[in-house]
A and B are shown apart, each in its own frame.
Chain A
Amino acid sequence: SYELTQPPSVSVSPGQTASITCSGDKLGDKYACWYQQKPGQSPVLVIYEDNKRPSGIPERFSGSNSGSTATLTISGTQAMDEADYYCQAWDSSTVVFGGGTKLTVL
């Protein structure tokens, strides 16, 4: 079965750039998307089709996907961006989620 691998945790200082990776076999040949989940809340889509932002998502969120790695980048990270982030792709008629990355802003 297809797997997506994320680092368990990433730390960033306020105002700096955070990068969260998601790795999978030939992931660049598929579309990747990203969700943000804060404690006690439902996931929120922040990036779809590798690099598109839904309405209402700040411009500081961006994405890329090439080779075997998709990357979520948060520029000028703010304290409110502290959350769990999950990547997701579609493979062989199944939805696959990464294990999630806890972003700490300190």
Chain B
Amino acid sequence: QLQLQESGPGLVTPSETLSLTCTVSGGSISSSNYFWGWIRQTPGKGLEWIGNIYYSGTTYYNPSLKSRVTISVDTSKSQFSLNLSSVTAADTAVYYCARQWNFGASYYFDYWGQGSLVTVSS
């Protein structure tokens, strides 16, 4: 059974960079037709897609966050990571990592991590 686990600091100082890592187990991060994504959810609000990465390093980002986001992958460790720079309180959210099926016109997240709450505060 595929499992994804987010890890990283639960508290980040305003203007600093939020960094999270997702570790994939029970399956290969290098599988064809799968992207690996980050999604966040602010308290009491809906889901917001941050971006995706393929094992080759190809990335797609949410245009509204693109200037502050970097997603990278380390296939040797079965991990992919999120860096979000210049954070403010508005970036306080639960951050999820997830696997996205990507083939033809079909795109959906079939496995999700448990989520990691990140609070931006001084």
Contacts and interface: CB of A to CB of B under 8 A. Distances in A.
Residue in B47, B63, B108, B112 with the greatest tally of chain A CB atoms within 10 Å: B108
Contacts of B63: 1, 94
Given A97-B48, A100-B46, A42 B110 contact: no
Secondary structure class of chain A's binding surface, majority of residues: strand
A95 B96 contact: no
Interface string A70-106: 0000000000000000101110011111111000000
Contacts of A97: 39, 46-49
Interface residues of A, number: 24
Interface in B53-107: 60, 62-64, 96, 100-101, 105-107
- SS class of chain B's interface: helix, strand, loop or mixed? strand
Contacts, number: 62
Contacts of B105: 30-31, 90
B47 A48 contact: no
Contacts of A94: 49, 60, 62-63
Interface in B18-58: 37, 39, 46-49, 52
A86 B112 CA distance: 14
Given A30-B105, A94-B62, A48 B110 contact: yes
A1 to B, nearest CB: 7
A97 B45 CA distance: 12
Nearest to B105: A31
B112 A48 contact: no
A8 B96 CA distance: 22
17 contacts: A31-B108, A42-B113, A42-B114, A42-B115, A43-B96, A43-B112, A44-B112, A45-B108, A86-B46, A86-B47, A88-B47, A89-B107, A95-B100, A97-B39, A97-B48, A99-B46, A100-B46
Query: 7 tightest CB-CB pairs across the interface, nearest first?
Result: A95-B49, A90-B107, A33-B108, A42-B112, A100-B46, A48-B108, A97-B47
